[in-house]
Structure 1
Amino acid sequence: MTDTGTAAVFRETTAQPRTAAVPLAQVSLELGHLYMEDFEAGPDRLRAHFAQVKPWADAAQALAGAGGRRARVSTCFLVDDYFTRFSSPAELVPMLVEEAARAGLVIDYLARESGCAVADGVAVAEEVQARLVESPAPGTDGSRPPAVQTGWLANGERSPGGLAEAMAGAEPWQPPAETAARRHSVFLDVELWDERGEHRTWSCPFLAAVWQLARLGLLRHAGDPVLQPLAWQDPRFPRDWDDLPPLVRLNPSAAPFSAYRTCSVLPSRFLSVEHAVRVILDQVDADPAALAQVAGRSRGEGLPVPEEIADRISYVLYPGP
């Protein structure tokens, strides 16, 4: 018998790497955020906001359906129940739905901001933090601890810090420098969290970055999607935010929650936060299998997505409170 030099290799099926796919719309359109100060301003504030959103929602729908294509645009709304607990789902959700409908809009999905920190037992924010890969600026000497230790992430090289040694000549001041600057720098240093004792509070920009990754269908835990919508069919809503799932589907006929691209219609006060979101997303090493799934499916539809995650998100910022 001739020895061919080959041998059978047996592997457990469960040992094969697996990344579940998620359904994808063309565009995830965010109809707004709601914070305590907006709620305290009353229904008029929401009414004015949705009136600003409506033309852009119509434009997103028209663009998605260009060329006779079937438009798949889903809408979502984010409520801050992380930094402050105010009102209740029983009072707030019907008001949101009513004011949106008054403007001719439908909220397909409602999300709790706390779900961007922890959702269904998964420490979502911690897992995204573990995927941060800082882009070292030219000349970086490694003397500054990484973002995962300091909680600060920059888009370039910071000004040198620290005290000069005694009797040593004073070091000349050096400005910060943006890594990808176009002649002049727009340097940003983003706080990702703060800590009091053993309690960590994630920053608004970091949670907003997690929110964008969820809307782009790029969040995975052990290969499974996280922060996925659950249908809510009961006309009543709970009195406590913890009794509402992190992400609920309010519209049974909605297009998928996640999408190839996202667009958010927000008051201009969110500009600094969303700048920080882009800095964070530029340094997140998202699940490669999830990225490949989205890229392959988008090409198959003739809707290829940019390679950079931050380039898949867009905004409409209008003057307002």
Structure 2
Amino acid sequence: MTHLRQRMIEDMGIRNLADNTQSAYLQQILSYAEHFHCSPEKLGPEAVRTYQLYLTNTRRLSPSSISVATGALRFLYKITLKRDWAVNEIPIPKRPFKLPVILSREEVMHFLGSIDSLKHRTILMTAYAAGLRVSEAIHLKVTDIDSQRMTLRVDQGKGRKDRYVMLSPRLLEVLRAYWKALRPALWLFPGDLIGQPITRNAVELACQKAHRASGIAKPITPHSLRHAFATHLLESGTDIRTIQLLLGHRSLATTSRYLKVATTTVCATASPFDCLPQVTGPAVTSVSPAYF
């Protein structure tokens, strides 16, 4: 391990960056160094610009992917190498704003009914019922279920934050039936490796299989269930601040995007066209054909 890599790992550890973020940043800097066949210490702002153009024009990566690489480069040059030019000379690409595709309640029910595995069906039911990220659902422990307070504890969710979410009576029944069938000890959803939880990839593969079996045309990922949870709560009258707390969003602006897809907000508003008197076109006079 090079001295620069070791120091960057230490700097990320000091700032308590998430494990996934640390892995992603290290991989991005490795790709950057291999592209130039040179240590990043010897490269400057012009090399960074050239690399960003390469990612944009040659590899044609999405703005989200380029933003990850940019974040890694900014951290390396600003924090680890302490280069003054790092912030001004490394621009972050603007991401396009896209609304999530929302499943209806009927589609959620049909999708969940298409999952043949008890464990996979239960974990995806839990993701919908509590609005969990897939990373949060797979790391649930048996002891995180509090049937007295009717809560689920999310231990170190995104941003290394703990939070409590709702445990619905119906989900509690599902989890009790699941526990009686499989008897998990530590992890609520254990994986194939002893002592390890189910992997994110296993859940995503199960989701893809159920999506094909359901025949639903809309795209479906485990995160789609979290989107559906938030939107269905909003449509049922739950205030946006409560939804923010349940989802664990840092900013209310992130939660507010669901206002744009909730049918009670979008579709319940009367169009001004409906307030106009009945519109009729000019009278059409029938003309007899001249030659037939």
User: TM-score scaled by structure 2?
Assistant: 0.23
State the structure with bigger RCO (CA 8 A, min sep 6), 1 or 2.
1
Structure having the higher helix fraction is: 2
Structure having the higher strand fraction is: 1
- Mark the structure with the bigger radius of gyration: 2
User: TM-score scaled by structure 1?
Assistant: 0.22
